[in-house]
Amino acid sequence: MGKITLTQVRKSFGETHVIPGIDLNIEHGEFVVFVGPSGCGKSTLLRLIAGLEDISGGKIEIDGTDATDLPPGKRGLAMVFQSYALYPHMSVKKNIAFPLKMAGMDEAAIEAKVQSAAKILNLANYLERKPGQLSGGQRQRVAIGRAIVREPAAFLFDEPLSNLDAALRVTMRQEISELHQKLATTMIYVTHDQVEAMTMADKIVVLNAGRIEQVGAPLELYNHPQNLFVAGFIGSPKMNLITGAEAQKHGCTTLGVRPEYIEVSADGPWQGTIGLAEHLGSDTFLKVDVPGIGMLTVRGSGEMHLHHGNQIRLGPQAGKIYRFGPDGKAL
């Protein structure tokens, strides 16, 4: 199992209301990613679910049981921390065995579980080493191993890849996704990296200032953002948001066009000057200054022979615009 239900969960530190009230359903086996800018409350929300912080109001249910007042170790959840949080004085084997030892399991059963987890995570050759003798990726695997052996109702990941280099991050991202396929256990994953969110999640929860802005599948959020915040947050590079006369022409307060949906063509409605051209081979990114509209980001596929100072004409692809009203909501 691994169904988690939050009902009007609130968290305040003194007069500061970090999370003013959240309702959320997480189904069994789902990979849910909490995403949002720094300070949006995503890590706090995870810690509330884990029981590492007390909630100021509301209710947390795990598999139908009220877990609001249960201590962290009794919630049946396992957590992987950003800093790995391994026990530095214990060997890899003892680190992985620790939760089982705390549960009072007998030695033979512990040994079998540790060996099995070590095999899944390719740690069999490192069991006698101390965490200090491992690389960042190996440490992260030990942290995951320590979580797996408990057979938790859900795994909680708090920005687990932030301390790894870019190449290792891609590998670990795939490993965690594969692990989710293999274990089919609920996973809640906090990140500020939207590539991680888009590639790993079954469901993304976009948070802003302690509130949920939108919940949905990655492409649902990308294709149908409910408001300006989600539109601007999901997608890289960010969606171009145009206000003023150009937006009014389309009957809205803010007009949104994703960089990949702007075409450079001789008959485009807008004319501008290229301020910056980035040639990546697979893509070309242009920053174009369009009088009356502002700076637009354009993403072109493949190599485009355009450079700083070139005058170009451009415009949005038909049907690929987003319109937002004065309250920031999608029209």
Nearer to other proteins, 52 or 168 (CB): 52
* b/e map 299-308, b = 16+ CB within 10 Å: bbeeebebee
Shortest distance in whole angstroms from residue 52 CB to other proteins: 5
Shortest distance in whole angstroms from residue 81 CB to other proteins: 5
Between the alpha carbon of residue 12 and those of residues 55, 56, 68, the distances in Å are 8, 6, 16
Shortest distance in whole angstroms from residue 54 CB to other proteins: 12
Instruction: Answer whether 173's CB lies under 8 Å from 141's CB.
Output: no
Can you read off the two tokens belonging to residue 328?
């920031």
Shortest distance in whole angstroms from residue 16 CB to other proteins: 16
Instruction: Answer whether 36's CB lies under 8 Å from 206's CB.
Output: yes
Site of tokens 């708090």? 158
Site of tokens 């976009």? 206
Nearer to other proteins, 163 or 310 (CB): 163
Nearer to other proteins, 88 or 251 (CB): 88
Would you call 276 helix, strand, or coil by DSSP? strand
Instruction: Answer whether 212's CB lies under 8 Å from 202's CB.
Output: no
Which chain residues interact with other proteins by CB under 8 A?
50-52, 71-74, 77-79, 81-83, 85-89, 98-99, 102-103, 146, 150
Nearer to other proteins, 51 or 216 (CB): 51
Shortest distance in whole angstroms from residue 122 CB to other proteins: 22
Nearer to other proteins, 16 or 282 (CB): 16
Nearer to other proteins, 46 or 198 (CB): 46
Nearest of 178, 193, 170 to residue 42 by alpha carbon: 193
Shortest distance in whole angstroms from residue 87 CB to other proteins: 6
Phi first, then psi, for residue 97 (nearest 5°) are -75, -15
